[in-house]
């Protein structure tokens, strides 16, 4: 009799437990749906140029306008190309992006900080920590080994990067396929190998912005394509933004976004710059 009397209460308790579990599952599902519906947070831009101009005074007191009303936003992980003829202002734009020069007018922010608020020392510190440069002529130290060339930027680093500079440089050279050439000087390396050393040197401090100025200009077509593929791959792995400045539309086409610089004005697009 007591067993029969307890069965309704047990059934009622079971039903309540099942209802609670269903409600909990529905709550979790609602939370999951809400999370899925919420948009991902927008990444903060690394560099923003707004209506940037650059002008210089000439000896005859005339003003040479190099850049006019340039707008550009670079996010972490971007791969951009800027194509322009000789004299179009490419190098000036690169110098501004890399904090080597400042705009004459307009505004620029680097990592959220207005550049006009940075003095020369602060720009130099930000440049050394966050920007890597790759040039057409490699600019390697002729009497230093590949390892020593890549270690050079780490001499200005602090903490772990400074004390472990040799190991970090060797690891980066291995990453670009030169792990067996650590002790070779530039004269013993091919053009493609020298550019790989230059890439390793630019990336060894894990910069957030990589600026490549005509990076394949001194290389043959096949070697140039190989170097650009490596550069894009390593930049993507690190999440750095890569900006390639070139006159070669074939190199520029390897980027995800393309810009054309003509007479100091920047516009989206890709065209042959004769």
Please tell me the pTM assigned to this model.
0.78
Residue 41 pLDDT grade (very low, low, confident, very high; cuts 50, 70, 90): low
**pLDDT score recorded for residue 34:** 46
**pLDDT score recorded for residue 25:** 54
Q: pLDDT tens digits, residue range 73-129?
A: 999 999 999 998 888 899 899 999 999 999 999 999 999 999 999 999 999 999 988
- What is the distance between the alpha carbons of residues 271 and 218, in angstroms, rounded to a whole number? 21
Q: Which of 27-31, 167-171, 228-232, 255-259 has the lowest mean pLDDT?
A: 27-31
Calculate mean pLDDT across residues 25-53. Answer: 66
Which residue has 């599902």 as its token pair? 29
- Classified as helix, coil or strand, 126 is helix
Query: For residues 178 and 146, is the Cβ–Cβ distance under 8 A?
Result: yes
Residue 107, token pair as written in the block: 């505004």
Task: Answer yes or no: is pLDDT of 214 > 70.
Answer: yes
Which helix H or strand E contains 222, and what residues bound it?
helix 221-238
Of 206, 188, 199, nearest in space to 226 by CA: 199
Q: In angstroms, how far apart are the furthest CA atoms of the chain?
A: 115
- What is the distance between the alpha carbons of residues 173 and 225, in angstroms, rounded to a whole number? 19
Residue 219 pLDDT grade (very low, low, confident, very high; cuts 50, 70, 90): confident
Average pLDDT, the chain: 84
51: left (phi over 0), alpha (psi -120 to 50) or beta: left
In the chain, pLDDT over 90 holds for what percent of residues? 53
């Amino acid at each position: 009799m007591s067993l029969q009397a307890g069965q309704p209460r047990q059934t009622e308790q079971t039903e309540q437990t099942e209802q609670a579990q269903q409600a909990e599952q529905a709550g979790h599902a609602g939370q999951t749906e809400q999370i899925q519906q919420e948009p991902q947070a927008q990444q903060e831009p690394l560099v923003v140029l707004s209506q940037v101009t650059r002008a210089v005074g000439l000896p005859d007191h005339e003003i040479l306008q190099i850049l006019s009303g340039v707008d550009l936003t670079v996010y972490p992980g971007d791969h951009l190309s800027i194509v322009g003829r000789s004299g179009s202002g490419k190098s000036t734009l690169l110098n501004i992006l890399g904090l080597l020069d400042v705009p004459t007018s307009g505004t620029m922010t680097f990592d959220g900080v207005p550049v006009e608020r940075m003095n020369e020392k602060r720009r130099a510190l930000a440049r050394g920590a966050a920007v890597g440069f790759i040039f057409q002529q490699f600019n390697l130290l002729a009497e230093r080994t590949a390892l020593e060339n890549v270690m050079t930027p780490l001499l200005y680093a602090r903490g772990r990067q400074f004390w472990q500079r040799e190991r970090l440089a060797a690891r980066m050279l291995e990453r670009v396929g030169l792990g067996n050439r650590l002790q070779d000087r530039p004269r013993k390396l091919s053009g493609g190998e020298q550019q790989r050393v230059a890439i390793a040197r630019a990336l060894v401090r894990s910069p957030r912005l990589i600026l490549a100025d005509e990076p394949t200009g001194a290389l043959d077509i096949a070697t140039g394509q190989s170097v650009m593929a490596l550069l894009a791959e390593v930049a993507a792995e690190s999440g750095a933004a890569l900006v390639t400045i070139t006159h070669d539309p074939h190199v520029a086409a390897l980027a995800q976004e393309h810009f054309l610089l003509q007479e100091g004005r920047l516009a989206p697009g890709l065209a042959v710059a004769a």
